[in-house]
């Protein structure tokens, strides 16, 4: 029984770790609840503080049938051949702080904190436990990997703006608990925004160097497209997002394809409240690269301290749009 317990826990930990890392290594500085970022910057001396929350639900099934594992464990009377069903509920709360170094250049830091509950059911097909099902669960709470990034808006002409966003993933989370990658990582995004008021479009093309200790793919490609539609000028907008990202799990060629819809309310020029729903399009199964669905919520405030100078960059434009000339 001890061999089964250690084998079962190890399997659950590996599967759960893959799902957790997918959720946590996505940079979290886009216009929440969007995954796709825009080219907007804060302006020199200005701050933005974002509080965000995500609830993620995932279910997947795997048939354990490694021949070597089956033979070895069978001779000890503990065959592991069977079906493993896993259910994960994850809550991630984070804070992101952005500062405008100069009008077209921002620096940001994102700090996520995670609470996850994973439940596993192992139904045995062979061996002395044939026909029996064993259940176990695990709860993990703690700080995840921290992201630090820069955004530089280097081109602007009429409705078109272009930016690049390089970043680093700092391994502050405990990888043994599935809270982090265990190694330093990096990423870079090319961002395009087209502003045809009241419709705004954003395109992201990115690469993530996913260095990790979980035996995942290290070269991850990302492409996503998002739209903002102002329903009530300067106060209410609807957002939509679609994207593609390479699966981090080496055992699967099913890629992460998602759809997202949400709403952003701006009660003041410097405050946004948002709510969104993200859904994975690909078929469900153990090889699914991300949560089946996520519920996203957040609040963002922007401000500057006395002596920081005039509002610059996009923050100044935002104030003028809302009657602050």
Q: Specify whether the CB–CB gap between 209 and 218 falls below 8 A.
A: yes
Q: Greatest CA separation found in the chain? A: 80
2-58+91-117+141-321 belongs to which CATH class? mainly beta
Highest mean pLDDT among 11-20, 101-110, 127-136: 101-110
* Rounded Cα gap, residues 103 and 154, in angstroms: 11
pLDDT classification of 134: cutoffs 50, 70, 90: confident
* Residues in Cβ contact with 155 at an 8 Å cutoff, skipping those fewer than 6 apart: 161, 162, 163
Q: Which residue has the tokens 């000339």?
A: 325
* Rounded Cα gap, residues 24 and 242, in angstroms: 19
pLDDT one-digit tens code per residue, 249-271: 887 778 889 999 999 999 999 99
Strand, coil or helix: 22: helix
Dump strand ranges (E) for 31-104: 46-64, 82-102
pTM over 0.85: no
Residue 144 has pLDDT above 60, yes or no: yes
Residue 324 has pLDDT above 60, yes or no: no
Q: Specify whether the CB–CB gap between 226 and 34 falls below 8 A.
A: yes
- Nearest Cα residue to 56 out of 137, 6, 117: 117
């Amino acid at each position: 029984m001890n061999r089964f317990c250690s084998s079962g826990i190890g399997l659950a930990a590996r599967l759960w770790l893959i799902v957790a890392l997918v959720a946590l290594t996505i940079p979290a500085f886009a216009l929440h609840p969007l995954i796709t970022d825009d080219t907007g910057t804060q302006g020199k001396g200005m701050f933005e503080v974002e509080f965000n929350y995500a609830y993620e639900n995932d279910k997947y099934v795997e048939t354990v049938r490694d021949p070597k594992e089956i033979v070895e464990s069978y001779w000890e009377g503990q065959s592991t051949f069977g079906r493993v069903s896993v259910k994960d509920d994850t809550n991630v709360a984070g804070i992101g702080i952005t500062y405008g170094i100069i009008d077209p250049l921002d620096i940001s830091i994102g700090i996520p904190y995670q609470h996850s509950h994973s439940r596993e059911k192992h139904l045995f097909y062979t061996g002395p436990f044939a026909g029996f099902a064993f259940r176990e669960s695990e709860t993990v709470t703690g700080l995840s990997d921290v992201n630090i990034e820069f955004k530089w808006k280097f081109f602007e002409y009429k409705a078109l703006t272009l930016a690049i966003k390089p970043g680093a993933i700092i391994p502050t989370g405990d990888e043994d608990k599935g809270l982090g990658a265990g190694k330093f990582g990096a990423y870079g995004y090319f961002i395009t925004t087209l502003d045809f008021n009241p419709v705004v479009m954003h395109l992201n093309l990115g690469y993530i160097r996913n260095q990790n200790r979980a035996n995942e793919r290290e070269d991850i490609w990302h492409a996503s497209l998002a739209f903002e539609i102002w329903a009530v000028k300067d106060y209410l907008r609807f957002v939509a997002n679609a994207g593609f990202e390479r699966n981090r799990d080496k055992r699967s060629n099913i890629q992460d394809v998602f759809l997202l819809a949400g709403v952003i309310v701006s009660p003041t020029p410097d405050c946004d409240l948002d709510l969104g729903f993200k859904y994975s399009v690909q078929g469900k199964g153990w090889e699914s690269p991300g949560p089946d669905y996520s519920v996203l919520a957040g609040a963002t405030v922007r401000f500057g301290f006395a002596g920081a100078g005039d509002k610059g960059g996009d923050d100044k434009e935002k104030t003028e749009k809302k009657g602050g000339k």
